[in-house]
Amino acid sequence: MRFLLAALTLSVAASSAHAAEQADLLIRGAGIVDVAHGRVLLHQSVAVRGNNIVAVGPDHSIARRFDARQSVDASGKFVMPGLWDMHVHFGGGQELIGENKALLPVYVAYGVTAVRDCAADISTSVIEWREEVAKGSLLGPTIFTSGPKLEGYKPIWKGTLEVGTPAEVNAALDKLQAMKVDFVKITDNTLKPDIFLYALKEAKRRGMRTSAHTPYALTIEQAVDTGLNSIEHIDYLIKAGSPREKQVGALYAAGKISYGDATNAFVDSFDPAYAIHQYRALAAKGVFVTPTLNMGRILANLDREDHSKDPGLAYIGPGLRKTYDWRIERAAKATPEQVAARHKEYDLSARVLPMLVEAGIPILAGTDAGYLNSFNYPGEGLHEELERYVEAGLTPQQALASAILTGPRFLGHSDRYGSVTAGKAADLLVLDANPLKSVAATRGINAVVLHGRLLDRAALDKLLADAKAGAR
């Protein structure tokens, strides 16, 4: 009897050993895009369980190993991690909360599975959305947010934490920590330079990462040396590439020249040889840069381009569209000299980008999409941003890395994101073509896997149709 029981136990154990593992989703036969190494692994399959990738390997091996509730034939397709937009804004006032929230599915439909909200005036709602997306009760990209940004007294931006003393900075950072923000955003509109530096120093002491617009009265090197982790907008790197950076900044701080005159002086005095030396020094200090290059192109060309028939405009609600007027009206009032200066600055920005990459500064792909920023559309804007990078001289691999690898690295989540490998988050794109050959292939989305949930092309089209109907 004991022998029979033992034999039966062994038989059951052997049967269990050969039983297929369970998966929620199998993506079969695809080319896996390895962005870090610039290669594609062909005829691979991906097994997903819950929010996680549990296995990746040759199709015949994975298919035998797993029994899945849902299986997708991706033969001839390409699978890569979802895109990250590292500079977006949700805002425009409490009355526009609904219009902002309606854009979350639009990001997903364009393959953007994570966004970094860089401060606005509806931070309480954004933090609520962050938690709801994480719990799976709201469809949208994973949200990382700064909460309200730090600024000086009486800034032009709404929804800021106004600070003018070290004690007020401490209180503001206490508030942000209580909100469990993912990083701290600091801008330079009215913030005193010494308080700006104190905020960087104190945030660093608390272990909080920082992102900023830097005051013209300070050099970029001063800000980075004090603890700045991410420079927002490439024009600040034009400033860093000018041998006159300190001198012009002092004139501006003393009220002897205007902000526009200072900007033009940085552009006119930019020195490539000096700049590459400065960029290498900044790279050695570990700073990241979010160029928002396409936003610069849009603003530079507001005098040349008609956006009235932009497809992306159909997803923007009337209240958010109204916020576009601020920049449009400013552009309309520009003198011919100011228009020429805008074009000159953008052309230089495009030349600076490959210099930053050559120097070793990590690039964060970000759009600046959101309220106020005219014709820079959620989702669509990130594809345009990546195309601008390639136009400026980056390879498709370098452009993809800026939207897949450096965002998780900046926020400390490389363990969960950045590659199609076991143990990573199941946020994936299934593409019709190889994005390492052309970054435009990121537009050809066959399906999105968001937090382990498959959204095929029909589901994505419905998200866009619903967003369009809601915006009307």
pLDDT given at position 187: 95
With a CB cutoff of 8 Å and minimum separation 6, the contacts of 436 are 33, 35, 38, 39, 40, 396, 397, 400
Bridge partners, residue 449, by sequence:
428, 454
pLDDT given at position 303: 85
pLDDT given at position 5: 38
The secondary structure of 318-370 as a DSSP string is HHHHHHTHHHHHHHHT--HHHHHHHHHHHHHHHHHHHHHHHHTPPB-----BS
CA atoms within 13 A on the CB side of 285: 19
pLDDT in tens, 454-468: 999 999 999 999 999
pLDDT given at position 104: 98
Distance CA 418, CA 426 (A): 11
pLDDT given at position 1: 42
pLDDT in tens, 81-139: 999 999 999 999 999 999 999 999 999 999 999 999 999 899 999 999 999 999 999 99
The residue ranges of every structural domain in the chain are: 2-80+419-471, 83-411
pLDDT given at position 251: 96
Distance CA 325, CA 302 (A): 12
Distances (CA, A) of 219 to 106, 142, 202, 248: 38, 34, 19, 10
With a CB cutoff of 8 Å and minimum separation 6, the contacts of 190 are 151, 152, 153, 154, 155
pLDDT given at position 462: 98
Tokens coding 50: 């819950």
Return the CATH superfamily for domain 2-80+419-471: Urease, subunit C, domain 1 (2.30.40.10)
With a CB cutoff of 8 Å and minimum separation 6, the contacts of 192 are 152, 164
The secondary structure of 186-235 as a DSSP string is E--SS--HHHHHHHHHHHHHTT--EEEPPPTTS-HHHHHHHT--EEESTH
Contact 299, 334 (CB under 8 A): no
Tokens coding 189: 């509109």
Amino acid symbol at 88:
V
Q: Which of the residues in the chain have pLDDT under 70? A: 1-19
Reply yes or no on domain 83-411 having CATH 3.20.20.140. yes
